[in-house]
Amino acid sequence: MICCFPIRFIFLVFGGLVYMPILPIDTGRYGSPQIKRIFEERDRLQYQLEFEAAVAKAQAQINMIPVSVAKEIVKIAKSDKITLERVGKLEAISEHDTAAVVEALSEKCSAKSKPWIHYGLTSNDIIDTTISMQMRDVFRIIEPKILRLALILADRSVEFRAQPAVGRTHGQHTSIIAFGLKFAVWAAEMATHIERIEEGKKRFLLCKTLGVVGTGSLMGKRALEVQKIVAENLSLHPVDAATQVIPRERIAEIQFLITLVGCTLDKIATEVRNLQRTELGEVAEHFRKGQMGSSAVPVKRNPIKSEKVSSLARLLRSLIGVALENIPLWHERDLSNSANERFTIPMAAILLDEMLNSLMSVIAELKINTQRLTSNLDMTKGQIYSEFVLDALVKKGVSRITAYRDIQRVAFSALQSGQHFRDAIKRDSHLARKLSSEELKYIFEPNNHLGASSEIIDHVVNKVRNTRNKYFDHKSKLSL
């Protein structure tokens, strides 16, 4: 059971209670087992015990508590003696989840060790550092997936680097692009997301051991030394200053970065959905044997994975508002953030994991209809080349505004009559004497107008590879 989703349907079966999942995350519909395991109650308990062990070990290292005591606390914390079931029973009495963990640990330790368990700490030292430990491990799963998507996108950008396609703004044909440039733009942004996350870790993967109001009151001036040791041992960063809680700006930044990645995924998914529309038909999600697009219409092939990504992105974006609301807590803290974070933090991580898994599959298997790419270029009967006609006239000394007005006049007339734009230019007395047939032939060839697309794609491919080499080498904790 995932700790952030405690709600269950309850059925009476043979005189007993059976708890059934309500939310689709609990049913296994969304998110990989690896990402969900991080937030399950049993694993959360292990994170908490690991933290308690790390604090005791650090305190013994600087002779704050006896070494023998620390060894026993570490040994018991790492054993299987502290069970979720026992913690649950203790929580039912105390109505305090963290106190229940400390009590369960204390029950298994000797009399000499009991006084030193949780020494100098407060509940949110455990809670907030556990969140950081969970998110540390979330990013170890998420970042390699972001990179894999970036690599897939980079490969597809190279595959279609020389394929002319319609460039659209406002939903209208504007000019010509290399179709591979679409993938390159997305690949570059995915690589940048990895940079953002890596740069942010020192700000939000934080360890706190400073007690009730953030002063380290019981441990005194050596509290900072303990915190530094614990942070290093847990692959975290010591908090600069805190109240009873780590400032919620740090949690909001995590939510923002996760959502920012999700918005890029939504951008990609939205483009796939648009390009798969029957009227465009330039791409299509892979349709497997036996798959059904509609219960009523046998011929439907719907972009369901991309639509799922867009749908989950809307939910993901809504979580940012909650994270921002959690920043202004009362004085040194209150509990108004606590309950909602049990939902929002795991939900954000699990939803992004699902979105990445889905979109990696979509892009890797995306069908590109090059015939439609070519035919769509001709849909406006040559009017997509107007930018290049204008450029040619300007280079011949025609003022830009005069050339613009002449091209617009001829183009609008050709559109109304159904005439090809090139033929209309040849028949126009003003334009025909400025542009020869050979010049028009060059202008109306799409492969001549890909600009620096190839160089841009090469640059992006190098950026993605450099990101892989920088953050995913053999020394990194991130692995593909």
Q: Are residues 348 and 467 in the same domain?
A: yes
User: 55: domain CATH number?
Assistant: 1.10.275.10
Q: Are residues 45 and 143 in the same domain?
A: no
Neighbours of 318 (CB within 10 A): 12
Q: Are residues 402 and 332 in the same domain?
A: no
8 A C-beta contact, residue 339 and residue 3? no
The answer to whether residue 165 is domain-embedded is no
Strands, E, within 316-431: which ranges? 367-368
The answer to whether residue 163 is domain-embedded is no
The answer to whether residue 228 is domain-embedded is no
Q: Are residues 110 and 62 in the same domain?
A: yes
Instruction: Identify the DSSP state of 14.
Output: T
- The Cα–Cα gap between 200 and 147 comes to 17
8 A C-beta contact, residue 274 and residue 281? no
Q: Are residues 95 and 48 in the same domain?
A: yes
Q: Are residues 201 and 311 in the same domain?
A: yes
Q: Are residues 355 and 327 in the same domain?
A: yes
The answer to whether residue 184 is domain-embedded is yes
The answer to whether residue 125 is domain-embedded is no
Residues 6+ apart with CB under 8 A from 239: 206, 207, 208, 210, 227, 246
Helices 400-417 and 386-395, packing angle to 10 deg: 150
* Alpha helices (runs of H) in 366-385, residue ranges in sequence order: 370-377
Q: Are residues 25 and 37 in the same domain?
A: no
> What positions carry a catalytic annotation?
170, 294
User: 271: domain CATH number?
Assistant: 1.20.200.10
Q: Look up the pTM and report it.
A: 0.92
Q: Are residues 199 and 345 in the same domain?
A: yes
Residues 6+ apart with CB under 8 A from 316: 258, 259, 262, 263, 348, 351, 352, 355
Q: Are residues 151 and 272 in the same domain?
A: yes
Mean pLDDT for each 10-residue chunk of the chain (480 residues)? 46 57 83 95 97 98 97 96 95 94 96 97 97 98 98 98 97 97 98 98 98 96 97 98 97 98 98 96 85 65 92 97 97 95 96 97 97 97 96 96 96 95 94 94 97 97 97 69
The answer to whether residue 16 is domain-embedded is yes
8 A C-beta contact, residue 116 and residue 65? yes
Q: Number of structural domains, the chain?
A: 4
Task: Please report the pLDDT score of residue 29 as a whole number.
Answer: 87
The answer to whether residue 229 is domain-embedded is no
Beta-sheet pairing, 164-169 with 172-178: antiparallel
Q: Which two tokens stand for residue 214?
A: 């953030």
Task: Please report the pLDDT score of residue 208 as a whole number.
Answer: 98
Q: Are residues 192 and 91 in the same domain?
A: no
Q: Are residues 70 and 91 in the same domain?
A: yes
Residue 133 vs residues 71, 146, 233, 342: alpha-carbon distances, Å: 22, 20, 11, 15
Task: Please report the pLDDT score of residue 190 as a whole number.
Answer: 98
The answer to whether residue 479 is domain-embedded is no
Domain that holds residue 409: 383-443
User: 397: domain CATH number?
Assistant: 1.10.40.30
